[in-house]
Amino acid sequence: MRFRHPAARRLGVLTAIAVGVVLGAVFGQPGNGRAAATAVPKNKTLPSISGLALVGQTLTATTGTWTNSPTSYHFAWSRCDATGAACLAIGGATARIYTVTASDEGHTLRVTVTAKNSSGSTPATSPATTVVPPNGCPTGTGTIQVSELQPPEQLTIVGGKTLHRVTRKSKQIQIRFAITACGGRAVQGATVYAVAVPYNQFAGESATSAADGTVTLTEPVRKGFPASTHQRLLAVFVRATKPGEPTTGGVSARRLVAFPIL
Protein backbone atom coordinates (compact mmCIF):
# COMPACT_ATOMS: atom_id res chain seq x y z
CA MET A 1 0.00 0.00 0.00
CA ARG A 2 1.29 3.43 -0.93
CA PHE A 3 1.64 5.82 1.98
CA ARG A 4 0.33 9.37 1.41
CA HIS A 5 1.71 12.23 3.46
CA PRO A 6 -0.94 14.05 5.63
CA ALA A 7 -0.01 17.38 4.09
CA ALA A 8 -0.77 16.05 0.64
CA ARG A 9 -4.14 14.79 1.79
CA ARG A 10 -4.99 18.20 3.21
CA LEU A 11 -3.95 19.88 -0.01
CA GLY A 12 -6.20 17.54 -1.99
CA VAL A 13 -9.20 18.31 0.24
CA LEU A 14 -8.63 22.03 -0.06
CA THR A 15 -8.30 21.75 -3.81
CA ALA A 16 -11.60 19.83 -4.04
CA ILE A 17 -13.37 22.42 -1.93
CA ALA A 18 -12.01 25.24 -4.07
CA VAL A 19 -13.12 23.52 -7.25
CA GLY A 20 -16.57 22.94 -5.77
CA VAL A 21 -16.91 26.60 -4.85
CA VAL A 22 -15.89 27.73 -8.34
CA LEU A 23 -18.27 25.30 -10.03
CA GLY A 24 -21.07 26.34 -7.67
CA ALA A 25 -20.51 29.96 -8.55
CA VAL A 26 -20.57 29.16 -12.25
CA PHE A 27 -23.50 26.74 -12.32
CA GLY A 28 -25.42 27.96 -9.28
CA GLN A 29 -25.82 24.50 -7.77
CA PRO A 30 -24.46 24.84 -4.25
CA GLY A 31 -25.83 27.62 -2.10
CA ASN A 32 -28.96 28.52 -0.13
CA GLY A 33 -30.82 30.57 -2.79
CA ARG A 34 -29.96 33.99 -1.39
CA ALA A 35 -28.18 35.09 -4.56
CA ALA A 36 -31.23 34.26 -6.69
CA ALA A 37 -33.62 35.97 -4.27
CA THR A 38 -31.80 39.28 -4.54
CA ALA A 39 -32.33 39.26 -8.31
CA VAL A 40 -36.16 39.27 -8.23
CA PRO A 41 -37.81 42.62 -9.10
CA LYS A 42 -37.98 45.06 -6.21
CA ASN A 43 -40.46 47.95 -6.19
CA LYS A 44 -39.06 51.48 -5.81
CA THR A 45 -42.16 53.63 -6.42
CA LEU A 46 -45.71 52.28 -6.24
CA PRO A 47 -47.96 51.90 -9.27
CA SER A 48 -50.46 54.71 -9.74
CA ILE A 49 -53.84 55.27 -11.41
CA SER A 50 -54.67 58.18 -13.72
CA GLY A 51 -58.12 59.27 -14.86
CA LEU A 52 -61.41 60.20 -13.23
CA ALA A 53 -63.07 57.62 -10.99
CA LEU A 54 -66.52 58.10 -12.54
CA VAL A 55 -68.86 55.53 -14.04
CA GLY A 56 -68.14 55.17 -17.75
CA GLN A 57 -64.68 56.76 -17.52
CA THR A 58 -61.44 54.86 -18.16
CA LEU A 59 -58.61 54.56 -15.67
CA THR A 60 -55.02 53.81 -16.69
CA ALA A 61 -52.45 52.11 -14.48
CA THR A 62 -48.74 52.86 -14.43
CA THR A 63 -46.25 50.16 -13.50
CA GLY A 64 -44.35 52.20 -10.96
CA THR A 65 -40.57 51.82 -10.95
CA TRP A 66 -38.58 48.67 -10.21
CA THR A 67 -35.03 47.41 -9.80
CA ASN A 68 -33.57 44.21 -11.26
CA SER A 69 -34.97 44.75 -14.75
CA PRO A 70 -38.47 43.22 -14.87
CA THR A 71 -39.25 41.59 -18.20
CA SER A 72 -43.05 41.65 -17.88
CA TYR A 73 -45.88 43.13 -15.81
CA HIS A 74 -49.29 41.74 -14.83
CA PHE A 75 -52.20 44.00 -13.83
CA ALA A 76 -55.06 43.08 -11.49
CA TRP A 77 -57.76 45.60 -10.49
CA SER A 78 -59.58 45.44 -7.17
CA ARG A 79 -62.74 47.01 -5.77
CA CYS A 80 -62.30 48.30 -2.21
CA ASP A 81 -64.39 50.00 0.45
CA ALA A 82 -64.55 53.77 0.84
CA THR A 83 -61.33 53.78 2.91
CA GLY A 84 -59.38 51.73 0.38
CA ALA A 85 -59.52 48.55 2.49
CA ALA A 86 -61.37 45.21 2.17
CA CYS A 87 -60.39 44.90 -1.48
CA LEU A 88 -61.73 42.14 -3.74
CA ALA A 89 -60.41 41.26 -7.17
CA ILE A 90 -62.57 42.33 -10.13
CA GLY A 91 -63.07 39.35 -12.41
CA GLY A 92 -61.45 39.75 -15.81
CA ALA A 93 -59.92 43.15 -15.00
CA THR A 94 -56.32 42.31 -15.88
CA ALA A 95 -55.42 44.99 -18.44
CA ARG A 96 -53.59 48.27 -17.96
CA ILE A 97 -56.83 50.16 -18.71
CA TYR A 98 -60.06 49.71 -16.73
CA THR A 99 -63.50 51.19 -17.43
CA VAL A 100 -65.41 52.17 -14.29
CA THR A 101 -68.82 50.47 -14.02
CA ALA A 102 -71.98 51.01 -11.99
CA SER A 103 -70.82 48.18 -9.68
CA ASP A 104 -67.97 50.46 -8.56
CA GLU A 105 -70.29 53.15 -7.19
CA GLY A 106 -69.55 53.84 -3.53
CA HIS A 107 -66.18 52.05 -3.76
CA THR A 108 -62.56 52.95 -4.36
CA LEU A 109 -60.33 51.12 -6.83
CA ARG A 110 -56.76 49.86 -6.65
CA VAL A 111 -54.50 48.11 -9.14
CA THR A 112 -51.87 45.53 -8.24
CA VAL A 113 -48.90 45.30 -10.59
CA THR A 114 -46.79 42.16 -10.48
CA ALA A 115 -43.31 42.57 -11.96
CA LYS A 116 -41.57 39.44 -13.18
CA ASN A 117 -38.14 38.40 -14.40
CA SER A 118 -36.28 35.10 -14.70
CA SER A 119 -35.61 35.03 -10.96
CA GLY A 120 -39.20 35.45 -9.83
CA SER A 121 -42.01 37.98 -9.38
CA THR A 122 -43.04 40.66 -6.88
CA PRO A 123 -46.41 42.45 -6.50
CA ALA A 124 -47.00 46.10 -5.58
CA THR A 125 -50.39 47.80 -5.11
CA SER A 126 -51.32 51.38 -5.98
CA PRO A 127 -52.97 53.88 -3.63
CA ALA A 128 -56.77 53.89 -3.83
CA THR A 129 -58.76 56.17 -6.11
CA THR A 130 -61.38 58.54 -4.77
CA VAL A 131 -64.78 57.01 -4.06
CA VAL A 132 -66.73 56.43 -7.27
CA PRO A 133 -69.89 58.57 -6.99
CA PRO A 134 -73.29 57.51 -8.34
CA ASN A 135 -73.50 58.21 -12.06
CA GLY A 136 -76.83 59.97 -11.66
CA CYS A 137 -78.74 57.73 -14.09
CA PRO A 138 -81.81 55.72 -13.07
CA THR A 139 -81.88 52.05 -14.02
CA GLY A 140 -83.65 50.91 -17.16
CA THR A 141 -83.56 51.86 -20.82
CA GLY A 142 -86.69 53.94 -21.39
CA THR A 143 -87.67 57.57 -20.88
CA ILE A 144 -86.15 59.31 -17.85
CA GLN A 145 -88.17 61.67 -15.71
CA VAL A 146 -85.93 64.69 -15.18
CA SER A 147 -86.59 64.48 -11.43
CA GLU A 148 -84.77 61.11 -11.41
CA LEU A 149 -81.61 62.53 -12.94
CA GLN A 150 -78.74 63.45 -10.63
CA PRO A 151 -75.21 64.87 -11.08
CA PRO A 152 -72.65 64.10 -12.35
CA GLU A 153 -74.91 63.14 -15.28
CA GLN A 154 -76.02 66.07 -17.40
CA LEU A 155 -78.77 66.78 -19.88
CA THR A 156 -77.89 66.81 -23.57
CA ILE A 157 -79.51 69.14 -26.09
CA VAL A 158 -79.77 67.24 -29.36
CA GLY A 159 -80.33 68.60 -32.83
CA GLY A 160 -82.21 71.82 -33.21
CA LYS A 161 -84.20 72.60 -36.32
CA THR A 162 -86.69 75.21 -37.40
CA LEU A 163 -90.09 73.95 -38.51
CA HIS A 164 -90.32 76.71 -41.12
CA ARG A 165 -87.76 78.59 -43.17
CA VAL A 166 -86.35 81.70 -41.54
CA THR A 167 -86.48 84.75 -43.81
CA ARG A 168 -86.09 88.44 -43.18
CA LYS A 169 -89.90 88.69 -43.26
CA SER A 170 -90.53 85.92 -40.68
CA LYS A 171 -93.05 86.91 -38.01
CA GLN A 172 -92.04 84.07 -35.71
CA ILE A 173 -89.73 81.10 -35.47
CA GLN A 174 -90.55 77.59 -34.34
CA ILE A 175 -87.59 75.55 -33.14
CA ARG A 176 -87.59 71.89 -32.08
CA PHE A 177 -84.99 70.19 -29.85
CA ALA A 178 -84.64 66.80 -28.21
CA ILE A 179 -83.43 66.43 -24.62
CA THR A 180 -81.57 63.25 -23.67
CA ALA A 181 -79.26 61.86 -21.00
CA CYS A 182 -77.56 58.63 -19.95
CA GLY A 183 -76.44 57.54 -23.39
CA GLY A 184 -79.31 58.88 -25.47
CA ARG A 185 -82.38 58.11 -23.34
CA ALA A 186 -85.21 60.63 -23.76
CA VAL A 187 -85.77 62.98 -20.82
CA GLN A 188 -89.29 64.15 -19.92
CA GLY A 189 -89.99 67.24 -17.84
CA ALA A 190 -86.86 69.27 -18.56
CA THR A 191 -87.33 73.03 -18.84
CA VAL A 192 -85.95 74.24 -22.16
CA TYR A 193 -85.35 77.92 -22.86
CA ALA A 194 -84.16 79.43 -26.15
CA VAL A 195 -83.47 82.99 -27.23
CA ALA A 196 -81.92 84.55 -30.34
CA VAL A 197 -78.55 86.31 -30.10
CA PRO A 198 -78.60 89.34 -30.16
CA TYR A 199 -81.53 89.09 -27.76
CA ASN A 200 -83.89 91.66 -29.32
CA GLN A 201 -84.57 89.65 -32.54
CA PHE A 202 -87.11 87.10 -31.23
CA ALA A 203 -88.78 86.76 -27.84
CA GLY A 204 -87.15 84.15 -25.63
CA GLU A 205 -89.52 81.34 -24.71
CA SER A 206 -89.45 78.20 -22.54
CA ALA A 207 -91.33 74.89 -22.63
CA THR A 208 -91.18 71.41 -21.10
CA SER A 209 -89.80 68.35 -22.87
CA ALA A 210 -92.34 65.63 -23.71
CA ALA A 211 -92.20 61.86 -23.11
CA ASP A 212 -90.09 61.41 -26.25
CA GLY A 213 -87.71 64.15 -25.08
CA THR A 214 -88.77 66.65 -27.74
CA VAL A 215 -89.79 70.24 -27.19
CA THR A 216 -90.99 72.89 -29.64
CA LEU A 217 -90.57 76.60 -28.94
CA THR A 218 -92.56 79.29 -30.78
CA GLU A 219 -91.02 82.76 -30.56
CA PRO A 220 -92.52 85.95 -32.06
CA VAL A 221 -90.31 88.41 -33.91
CA ARG A 222 -89.03 91.60 -32.28
CA LYS A 223 -87.96 94.88 -33.76
CA GLY A 224 -84.28 93.93 -33.72
CA PHE A 225 -84.65 91.32 -36.49
CA PRO A 226 -82.80 91.19 -38.74
CA ALA A 227 -79.78 92.41 -36.83
CA SER A 228 -78.25 93.77 -40.06
CA THR A 229 -79.03 93.93 -43.76
CA HIS A 230 -76.30 91.36 -44.41
CA GLN A 231 -77.27 88.85 -41.70
CA ARG A 232 -77.05 85.30 -43.03
CA LEU A 233 -77.40 83.25 -39.81
CA LEU A 234 -79.69 83.38 -36.81
CA ALA A 235 -77.81 82.35 -33.65
CA VAL A 236 -79.90 80.89 -30.83
CA PHE A 237 -78.81 80.22 -27.26
CA VAL A 238 -80.51 77.13 -25.74
CA ARG A 239 -80.60 75.99 -22.11
CA ALA A 240 -82.07 72.82 -20.59
CA THR A 241 -82.52 72.55 -16.82
CA LYS A 242 -84.14 70.47 -14.11
CA PRO A 243 -86.93 72.44 -12.37
CA GLY A 244 -85.79 73.76 -9.02
CA GLU A 245 -82.08 73.60 -9.82
CA PRO A 246 -79.79 76.56 -10.62
CA THR A 247 -79.68 77.31 -14.34
CA THR A 248 -75.89 76.92 -14.33
CA GLY A 249 -75.62 73.93 -11.99
CA GLY A 250 -77.00 70.49 -11.32
CA VAL A 251 -77.77 68.57 -14.52
CA SER A 252 -78.24 71.67 -16.67
CA ALA A 253 -76.86 71.99 -20.19
CA ARG A 254 -76.30 74.88 -22.58
CA ARG A 255 -75.76 75.08 -26.32
CA LEU A 256 -75.48 77.65 -29.13
CA VAL A 257 -77.03 76.73 -32.49
CA ALA A 258 -77.42 78.64 -35.75
CA PHE A 259 -79.97 78.57 -38.58
CA PRO A 260 -79.63 80.01 -42.09
CA ILE A 261 -81.65 83.09 -43.03
CA LEU A 262 -83.00 82.62 -46.55
Residues of the chain with CATH 2.60.40.2700: 41-125
Residue 240, SS3 per DSSP = strand
Residues of the chain with CATH 2.60.40.1940: 144-260
CATH code matching the domain that covers 41-125, chosen among 2.160.10.10, 2.60.40.2700, 3.50.50.60, 3.30.70.260: 2.60.40.2700
What are the backbone angles phi and psi of residue 87, rounded to the nearest 5°?
A: -80, 140
- Say whether pLDDT at 18 is over 60: no
Q: What is the dihedral of CA 226, 228, 232, 233, to 10 degrees?
A: -60
What would the pLDDT profile of 98-154 be if each residue is shown by its tens digit?
999 989 999 999 999 999 999 999 999 999 999 998 888 887 889 999 999 988 889
Write a three-state SS string for 60-79: EECCCEEECCCCEEEEEEEE
Q: What is the pLDDT of residue 183?
A: 87
Burial 198-208 (b: 16+ CB within 10 A, else e): eeebbbebebe
Q: What is the pLDDT of residue 169?
A: 92
What would the pLDDT profile of 56-86 be if each residue is shown by its tens digit?
889 999 999 999 999 999 999 999 999 999 9
Residue 99, SS3 per DSSP = strand
| 144-145-146 Cα angle (round to 5) | 105
DSSP 18-69: HHHHHHHHHH--SS-SHHHHTTS-EEEE---EES--STT-EEEE---EEES-
Q: Give the Cα separation of 10 and 16 in Å (integer).
A: 10
Q: What is the pLDDT of residue 38?
A: 67
**Nearest residue to 156 (alpha-carbon basis) of 123, 192, 105, 127:** 192
Higher pLDDT, residue 143 or 8? 143
pTM over 0.95: no
First to last CA, the chain: 126
Q: How many CA atoms lie within 13 A of 78 on its CB side?
A: 18
Residue 211 binned pLDDT confidence (cut-offs 50, 70, 90): very high
- Say whether pLDDT at 220 is over 90: yes
Q: Give the Cα separation of 28 and 72 in Å (integer).
A: 24
Q: Give the residues across from 135 on adjacent strands.
A: none
- What is the H or E stretch that residue 15 is in? helix 6-27
Q: Considering the domain delimited by 144-260, tell me its CATH architecture.
A: Sandwich (2.60)
